[in-house]
Structures are given as C-alpha cells and as structure tokens.
Amino acid sequence: MTKLYGDDAELYDIAFDWDISDEADWLVARLEATTVLEPGCGSGRMLEALADRGCQVVGIDRSPRMVELARRRLGTRGEVFEADMTHFDLGRAFDGAVCPINTLLHLTPAELGRHLHRMSLHLERRSRYLVQVGLLEVDHEPPAGSRWEASRGDISLRVEWADDELDLVSGTSRQRSRIEVLSGPRAGEVVEEVHEMTAWTPATWAEAIAASPFEEVATYDGGTKGKWPRVDATATGGLLWHELTL
C-alpha cells in the first residue's frame, strides 16, 4: 500500500473530492438497490453520496486510515470495515454494489478473480455490480494523464496522475501520482509515488469476466459527463462503466 492510501490519505481525500452528484444519481438509477456495498471505498466519498440518496451503504477498505476517514464522513449513515477486497466475509448479501474510478486496476488478474468470487458471495441473485474500469487497445499510446487542482479550507493542491510505462501485451501499467501542496500546514511538500497497476483491453477484460461468476450485460461511457451513454462491449476509454450481474 502506498503512502497516498495510508499516511497521506487526507491529501487523497482532498485531491479526489470533486462533485459526483450526477454520477451518484445515475448509479442509484442503474442499481435499483436499497443496500449497496462498495469495496475499496477509500475515504467514503461515494458511500456518502449514495447514503444521501437513501441507500443503506457498507464499505470496505484495507487502509486503516481510509476506513477512519470514511467512518468520520458517514457518521451513523453507513458502516465501513477494514478488509481486503480479495478476501472478506461480511456475513450478509447486498442487492447492489459499486466500485468507481478504476479501483480494480490495483488488482492483478488473479486478485481480480478472487475479488469477483468474494463479491458473488455478497450479492443477491440478479443484483447489479457496477464497476468503472478503463480499457485500451493493444496498439494504444499511453494516456496523456490528468492534471487538476483541488482545495479544502486553507489547503490547496496541484495533482498529476499519468502512466510512466504501459504494456498491454503483458497487461501491466506503471502509473505515477504527484501531489504538490500549494498552501496550508504542509505547503511546499511534494508527495510522489509509483503505482503498479493492471492494464486491460476489451479482450482480456471479457476473458476475466467470462471466468468469473458474473456476466457483463451492459457497458457505459462514463467520460461523457451527465449522459453515460451505453456503448459496445468492445469500446475503449478510461472511464468505462461495466454492469455485471450474477
């Protein structure tokens, strides 16, 4: 686990705290669920949005610091547990689940298989699991990366996230995050880390889902803000939503 998800979780919480109101509305409509599980919930931003829309939410994350932040954010409106998304047992089933912003790219293919097995044990039949996983063509150039600024109170940040290396033949991606603290108590600090990720193509992703208990019944383009149109399962892009069912 990198420092961004541990000791520096507060910086992560500020950097990724943009408005997700429209996305949360869309997710609630697609899920048609009252109880929703979010594996890899981080600091609880999505859990909070779903709870605000009437869902009973539960999250898991293996970072104690993220769990602490999520519990603080949710208060009594949901539950958050420290657990690994590839090996967990909550002793109950949910009628929907969600995993946004390419969280599953942190899993190797073998870990993804174990995760989907555990998720199948925690979801009711015919419920939906909406996962956001970007897919790329084999001959695709590394994405240009993202750059943005974020602030909360007296803390302001400049954030960069980009691929250092991308090998779609081996299915690996080395990504680099860089957070420069522009103001606040840590002004002048730079937090830079490398993240070893999995890179998926439409073909390798389809194979992974076919080997799991799930079936992909729809794919949506999450890069079109406020619309999320349905696209073909062979589509590529960094913000694709995959609708999985048992």
Which residues, at least 6 apart from 188, have a Cβ–Cβ distance to it below 8 Å? 181
Alpha-carbon distance of 179 to 170, in angstroms, equals: 29
Q: What is the pLDDT at residue 142? A: 65
Of all residues in the chain, the percent with pLDDT exceeding 90 is 86
Mean pLDDT of 156-165: 93
Strand partners, 97: 37, 129
- pLDDT by residue (tens digit) across 82-127? 999 999 999 999 999 999 999 999 999 999 999 999 999 999 999 9
Structural domains in the chain? 3-136+201-245 (3.40.50.150), 146-198 (2.20.130)
Within a 13 Å sphere around the CA of 30, how many CA atoms are in the beta-carbon half?
Answer: 25
pLDDT tens for 190-237 read 999 999 999 999 999 999 999 999 999 999 999 877 789 999 999 999
Closest among 145, 192, 193 to 166, alpha carbons compared: 145
Which of 25, 4, 34 lies closest to 195 in space, CA to CA? Answer: 4
Among 35-44, 161-170, 211-220, which stretch is predicted with the lowest mean pLDDT? 161-170
